[in-house]
Amino acid sequence: MEKTDGRIVLVGGRPYRAIEDDRGRLRFAKDPDHFLVKRMTPIFGGTGAADPNTIAVEYHQGRFSLRDYAEMNIAMGYSIGGFEELSTFFDLEISCGDPTLDRPGRHFGPQDDITAIKE
Q: What is the pLDDT of residue 115?
A: 87
HEC profile for 8-53? EEEECCEEEEEEEECCCCEEECCCCCCHHHHCECHHHCCCCCECHH
Q: What is the pLDDT of residue 106?
A: 98
Residue 119 predicted with pLDDT over 60:
no
pTM of the model: 0.90
Average pLDDT over residues 45-66: 94
CA distances, 35 to each of 15, 55, 61 (Å): 18, 11, 18
Q: What is the pLDDT of residue 2?
A: 46
Q: Are the C-beta atoms of residues 91 and 105 closer than 8 Å to each other?
A: yes
Average pLDDT over residues 87-115: 96
